[in-house]
Amino acid sequence: MSKQFIIGLIAGVVICGVVGGLIGLSMVGKKATVEPPDWETYLITKLKNLEIPESPAPTIPIGTTDEDLLQGGEHYNHHCAVCHDLEGDADSAFAKGFYPPVSDLTSENVQRYSDQQLKWIVDNGIRYTGMPGWNGIIDDVTQWKIVHYMRALANPEKAGQLEAILKERGLWKALAPVDEHHEPEEAAEHEHPEGEHHH
Ligand code: HEC
Please tell me the predicted confidence (pLDDT) of residue 179.
Answer: 63
Using one digit for the tens of pLDDT, what is the confidence trace for 9-46?
889 898 988 888 887 777 778 899 999 999 999 999 99
Q: Does residue 95 have its Cβ closer than 6 Å to ligand 1?
A: no
Query: Where are the domains positioned within the chain?
Result: 64-179
Phi and psi at residue 70, to the nearest 5°: -65, -35
Q: Does residue 83 have its Cβ closer than 6 Å to ligand 1?
A: yes
Q: How far is the CA of 186 from the centre of ligand 1 (A)?
A: 31
* DSSP letters spanning the chain: --HHHHHHHHHHHHHHHHHHHHHHHHHTTS-SSSPPPHHHHHHHHHHHHHHSPPPPPPSSPPP-SHHHHHHHHHHHHHHTHHHH-TTSS--SHHHHTSSSPPP-TTSHHHHTS-HHHHHHHHHH--TTSS----TTTS-HHHHHHHHHHHHHHTSHHHHHHHHHHHHHTT--STT---HHHHHHHHHHHHTS-TTGGG-
Look up the CATH superfamily of 64-179: Cytochrome c-like domain (1.10.760.10)
Q: Does residue 147 have its Cβ closer than 6 Å to ligand 1?
A: no
Q: Does residue 134 have its Cβ closer than 6 Å to ligand 1?
A: yes
Using one digit for the tens of pLDDT, what is the confidence trace for 106-154?
999 999 999 999 999 999 999 999 999 999 999 999 999 999 999 999 9
Share of residues in the chain with pLDDT > 70 (%): 88
Q: How far is the CA of 174 from the centre of ligand 1 (A)?
A: 15
Q: Does residue 82 have its Cβ closer than 6 Å to ligand 1?
A: yes
CB 110 within 8 A of CB 103: yes
